[in-house]
Amino acid sequence: VPDHVADNIVTASVAAVKKDDTTEKCVPGFDEETKNIALWSTYVDPSSGTQDVFLDGNALPFSVGGTTSLNFDGNGVATLGIRYPDVGRVRLNARYQGSGDDAGLVMTGDGTFVARPDHFQLDIPGNPAATSVQDDNAFVAAGEDFEIRVSSINASGNVTPNFGRETPAEGVNLESTLVLPTGGDDPPLTGAFGAFGEDCNGDPAAGGTACGLFQWPEVGVIRINPRLASGSYLTTADVTGNAVSHVGRFIPARFNVNIVEQGEIEPFCDVATAFAYTGKTFNWRGGAEPVLLVEALNTGGAIMRN
């Protein structure tokens, strides 16, 4: 059975072979014959699950049971359509119990395959998906925690509950890139997902989903893209995700104001002692205006370069 994306139908083959009594070569065991073969599936990694393997639309059992009629060609090969909606490494088992002319003949065999996610899907609660840095569409303060949820999705758009239960467990990393302001600082996103099958509080959640708290330490709008942490699902192929194209706006946590120059008030009267009246309009003395240094800061107190 070829490795494939979960819930895609793939063509598997069952080859019936035997040793030729004269040449001792491997030759077809069945030739243009139809045989009833017992087929069943077993979980390998993870070692358990909730989803069936389907053969031509029918769920296979998890132990030896009924048989399926297979047509073997002149090379002793029969083909069948296999579909598995979940992810992981699975074993397909076959057994033939002879009868009639084949009485006493028992043939067994198996093959493993890996079904991987089609993609990862992100959900960011409360994200206004700002497309401008001028609009009143604030998300969270720079450096403040925000929640991201990720789901492992198969080819039909359904969650694959076994993702994250492998040994060692597969996971998802996030990559961020700056969208706005153009040419600004682009520090990395920090944070991590918790275990799959748990929510952000560590309580049980749907399998194939995970939650994490993340932080971005600048102001602006970013793009976030999920991808497989290991780079190769169970050593077969990489899996990427659907990017969230606009996350933010991230805004300053606060402003820090420093008085660089106090400044001098222009006196109302300077004939004798210079003074001004409280409650009356006054100006700053020319050349002696106050100077303020205003800094936009994130939650950690760092200055926001953007």
pLDDT digits (tens, 9 = 90+) for 188-233: 999 999 999 999 999 999 999 999 999 999 999 999 999 999 999 9
Q: Would strands 106-116 and 4-5 be described as parallel, antiparallel, or unpaired?
A: parallel
Burial of 57 (0-12, 13-18, 19+ CB in 10 A): exposed
Residue 98 has pLDDT above 90, yes or no: no
**Nearest CA to 227 among 160, 176, 180, 185?**
176
For residue 203, the 8-state DSSP code is -
- φ/ψ of residue 190, rounded to 5: -120, 165
Q: What pLDDT, in 10s, does the model give residues 74-92? A: 999 999 999 999 999 999 9
Cα dihedral across residues 246, 247, 248, 252: positive or negative: negative
Model pLDDT, residue 270? 65
Model pLDDT, residue 12? 95
Model pLDDT, residue 70? 92
**Nearest CA to 8 among 162, 88, 113, 118?**
118
- φ/ψ of residue 193, rounded to 5: -80, 150
The full 3-state SS of 219-234, as one line of letters, equals CEEEEEEEEECCCCHH
Cβ atoms of 145 and 126 closer than 8 Å: no
- Tokens 């609009």 correspond to what residue? 135
Mean pLDDT of 41-56: 95
Model pLDDT, residue 273? 66
For the chain, percent of residues with pLDDT exceeding 90? 79
273 residue type, one letter? T
pLDDT band at 161 (very low <50, low <70, confident <90, very high): very high
127 residue type, one letter? N
Query: Within a 10 A sphere around the Cβ of 242, how many other Cβ atoms?
Result: 12
Model pTM? 0.86
Mean pLDDT of 144-156: 97
Mean pLDDT of 117-129: 97
Distance (Å, rounded) from C-alpha 208 to C-alpha 162? 6
Model pLDDT, residue 281? 83
Q: How far is CA 220 from CA 25, 53, 174, 178, in A?
A: 69, 46, 18, 8
Distance (Å, rounded) from C-alpha 171 to C-alpha 258? 46
Cβ atoms of 6 and 116 closer than 8 Å: yes
- φ/ψ of residue 125, rounded to 5: -60, 135
Distance (Å, rounded) from C-alpha 223 to C-alpha 175? 8
**Nearest CA to 167 among 43, 61, 1?**
43
Q: What pLDDT, in 10s, does the model give residues 168-189? A: 999 999 999 999 999 999 999 9
For the chain, percent of residues with pLDDT exceeding 70? 98
Cβ atoms of 150 and 122 closer than 8 Å: yes
Work out the mean pLDDT of the chain and round it to a whole number.
93
pLDDT band at 271 (very low <50, low <70, confident <90, very high): low
Higher-pLDDT residue of 29, 109: 109
